[in-house]
Amino acid sequence: MNMAFSDFDPPSSWYSSQEDMDNDSEAQFAWNDARRASFLRWWRQHRLIASDWTQMPDSPLSAGVKEEWRIYREWLRNLPAQIDLENVEFISSPGEELVNPWSAK
């Protein structure tokens, strides 16, 4: 479940009018703190939902791998508390390559 900006449809609330939204393109899109925070909340929520199964009592994962997922999910839950949104230190989920959602595919 690797997601980057190119997978993200920005909310219309980021624009002052429908015309601004219609005229926007990825090339014109500028990250600001509000957009970064909104995107991170969206990305984090999707990562948490996709990994819920890892913490279920009937999960087929070993105790060690389940603990790795618990740590990763804790990091996801703490993500909104990071102050410097431009320099978030991303970590990889267990068994996956490091995902940096600021990077385009």
Q: Is the pLDDT of residue 55 over 60?
A: yes
What whole-number percentage of the chain has pLDDT above 90?
30
pLDDT of residue 58 exceeding 90: yes
What is the mean pLDDT of the segment spanning 94-104?
Answer: 69
Average pLDDT along the chain: 74
Per-residue three-class SS string for 29-92? CCCCHHHHHHHHHHHHHHHHHHHHHHHCCCCCCCHHHHHHHHHHHHHHHHHHHCCCHHHCCCCC
Per-residue pLDDT at 43: 86
What's the maximum distance between 2 C-alpha atoms anywhere in the chain?
52
The answer, yes or no, to whether residue 7 has pLDDT greater than 70, is: no
Work out the average pLDDT over 44-64. Answer: 93
pTM comes to 0.62
Query: If pLDDT is split at 50, 70 and 90, which confidence band does 34 have?
Result: confident
Confidence of residue 65 (pLDDT cuts 50, 70, 90): very high
